[in-house]
Amino acid sequence: MTIHLNYQNLFSYLISAGICQKDDLDYLKFDVNQSKNFYWVIDIPQKQEKLFVKQTPDYKSLEHDVRISKEWKLYNFLQSHKDLDYVSSFTPEVLHFDDSSSILIYKCPNDYITLQSSYENQTILPIALAELVGTTLAKLHSQTMSSQKCYTFLTELEECKLNYQLPYPDYLSDYLISRIEPESLKKTQAVSWRFLGIFQQSEAVREIVTELVLNHRYCCLTHNNIQFQKIFIPRHWEKLVTEIQDSDQSLIKIVDWEACSWGDPACDLGKAILGYFLFWLNSMIVHPAIEVKKSIQLATIPLEVVRPSIVAMTKAYINTYPKVLEDYPEFLKRVVQFAGLGLIYQLLTEFQLQPEMALSHQGLYFFIATQFLCKPEKFLSI
C-alpha cells in the first residue's frame, strides 16, 4: 500500500519502519529551516543524529519520476565499491528505502551543520572552509573520472543525461511540469510568468544556454545541485581540518544526490561558487524604482567580501585536480556559465516557493545571470 507522508503521520511511519522508538518522540525536533513538503529534517539529540526523510511528490504528472530511487541506487553502488571509499565517505548513511512509496531516509551526525548556517553565524568567511569544499569537489570528480564501473552504472540510470537541459527553451514546458508543484502553480501570481517570457525573448542568453546544454562534458560523477544548505560540515571543523588532509575519509557530507549523473564537473564547482555570489546578491536593496546597477552599488555585502572565498575555492579545486585544465581547457569559463545557469534555476525555484520574492529578484538575478552566461571572462579575473 502506498503511504503519503505528512507532518501528522511522519512519526508513526518512522516507528513502524524501525527507525525510531516511541520514547524518541519526546525528543524529536523538526528543523523548520530545512523541512518542507515531501522533505523533512529531524534532529534526534539523544542519539546525536539528524534524520532526512524524503518522498517523491504523488502527482500523476510525475509517474515516472525516479529521483528517489536513483539516489538510493547511487548510495548502494558507492558502498559496494572499495575503490570509491572516499566518495562514499561524504554521502550520508542510508537507513531505509521504501520503493512502493518512494521514501528514502538517511542520517548525518547531529554535530554537523549546513555550510549555509555556518556562514550565517560568522562575520567573516573563512578561507579554509572555501578551500575545503573546493578540495572535496575536486576529489569527487578526479577519483570518479577514471572509474569505468561508475561510468557504466550512471549511464544506465534513467534520466542520467537530462540534468542540464533546463531551462533550455525546447524543454521549458517539461521543466515546469516536473519541477514546479501543481499546488504552487495555482497560488503563483500570473505576473510571475513574465520571467519565462524574458528568458525566451533574450536571444543571446537562449543561445548560450542551448550551447551549454548541448555541448557540456560527460566526465565524472557530478551532484548537479550543489548548494550551501546541502553541504554539511562539523560544527568545530577548524579543529579537524588539518587531521584529514591525507585521510581517505571526507570531513564534509553532501546530501540530496537525486540529480546526480555522469556529467560536467564545471556544473558542481559553478553552483558551489554561486553560493558566495548569492550572499552578495541577496544583500542588495531591490526595488522597481532602483536601477539594477544602483542596487549593486548599495550591496551591504560587497563583492570584495565574497571574492576571496570564490578565488580560494577555485584555486583549491585546481591545485587538487590540475589535470582538469589540460583535459578541459574551457573549464573555468564553463564554471562561470554554470553559475549563471544555476542563478536562473534559483529564480525558478523562488517562483515556485516565494513568488513575491522572485518578482523582486527577477531583474537583478537575470541581469547577473546574463553577465555570467554571456561574458564569463569578466569574472575569471576576480
Q: Which secondary-structure segment (H or E) carries 85?
A: helix 85-89
pLDDT digits (tens, 9 = 90+) for 337-377: 999 999 988 887 777 777 777 777 888 888 899 999 999 98
- Domain-wise residue ranges, the chain: 1-110, 112-380
| C-alpha–C-alpha distance, residues 312 and 13, integer Å | 44
- 112-380: which CATH number, 3.90.1200.10, 3.40.50.300, 3.20.20.140, 1.10.730.10? 3.90.1200.10
Taking only the tens place, the pLDDT of each residue in 138-162 is 999 999 998 999 999 998 875 545 4
| DSSP-assigned letters across all residues of 176-235 | HHHHS-HHHHHHS-GGGGHHHHHHHH-HHHHHHHHHHHHT----EEE-S---GGGEEEET
Indicate the pairing of strand 103-109 with strand 93-98.
antiparallel
* Region of residue 103 (phi > 0: left; psi between -120 and 50: alpha; otherwise: beta): beta
Give which of 26, 51, 28 is closest to 40, Cα–Cα. 51
**Residue 5: all three cell numbers together:** 507522508
**List of residues 6+ apart from 239 with CB closer than 8 A:** none
Cβ atoms 284, 357 nearer than 8 A: no
Q: Give yes or no for a contact between 104 and 72, defined as CB atoms under 8 angstroms apart.
A: yes
Mapped onto helix, strand or coil, the DSSP state of residue 301 is coil
pTM (two decimals): 0.88
Give the span between the Cα atoms of 84 and 151, in whole angstroms.
Answer: 12
CA 318 to chain centre: 21
For residue 89, give the C-alpha cell: 565517505
Quote the CA–CA distance of 285 and 295 in Å, as a whole number. 5
Set of cell numbers at residue 306? 565574497
The letter for the amino acid at 151 is Y
For residue 250, the 8-state DSSP code is: -
* Per-residue pLDDT tens digits for 34-78: 777 788 998 887 777 889 999 987 654 444 567 889 999 999 999
The dihedral of CA 178, 361, 161, 211: what is its sign?
A: positive
Is-same-fold flag (1-110; 112-380)?
no
Residue 134 has pLDDT above 70, yes or no: yes
Judged by DSSP in three states, 116 sits in helix
Alpha carbons within 13 angstroms on the beta-carbon side of residue 288 total 4
Q: What does CATH list as the number for 1-110?
A: 3.30.200.20
* pLDDT tens digits along 244-258: 666 778 899 999 998
Q: For residue 93, what is the enclosing H or E element?
A: strand 93-98
Question: With contact defined as beta carbons under 8 Å apart, do 210 and 199 qualify?
Answer: no
Question: 2: left (phi > 0), else alpha (psi -120 to 50), else beta?
Answer: beta
- Region of poorest pLDDT, from 33-37, 81-85, 276-280, 370-374: 33-37
- Lowest-confidence pick of 19-23, 134-138, 286-290, 294-298: 286-290
* Backbone phi and psi for residue 196, each to the nearest 5 degrees, phi listed first: -60, -35
Q: Average pLDDT, whole number, for the chain?
A: 83
Per the DSSP assignment, residues forming a β-bridge with 8 are none
CA dihedral of 120, 225, 167, 343, whole degrees rounded to 10: 20
Taking phi first (over 0 means left), then psi (-120 to 50 degrees means alpha), and beta for anything else, what does residue 48 get? Answer: left
Cβ count within 10 A of residue 373: 25
Burial bucket for residue 32 (CB in 10 Å: 0-12, 13-18, 19+): exposed
Question: Which is nearest to 125 in space by CA: 283, 255, 242?
Answer: 283
With CA atoms as reference, report the closest residue to 172 among 366, 344, 368: 344
Which pLDDT value is given to residue 122? 74
Using DSSP, state whether 378 is helix, strand or coil: helix
Q: pLDDT tens for residues 196-208?
A: 666 666 788 888 8
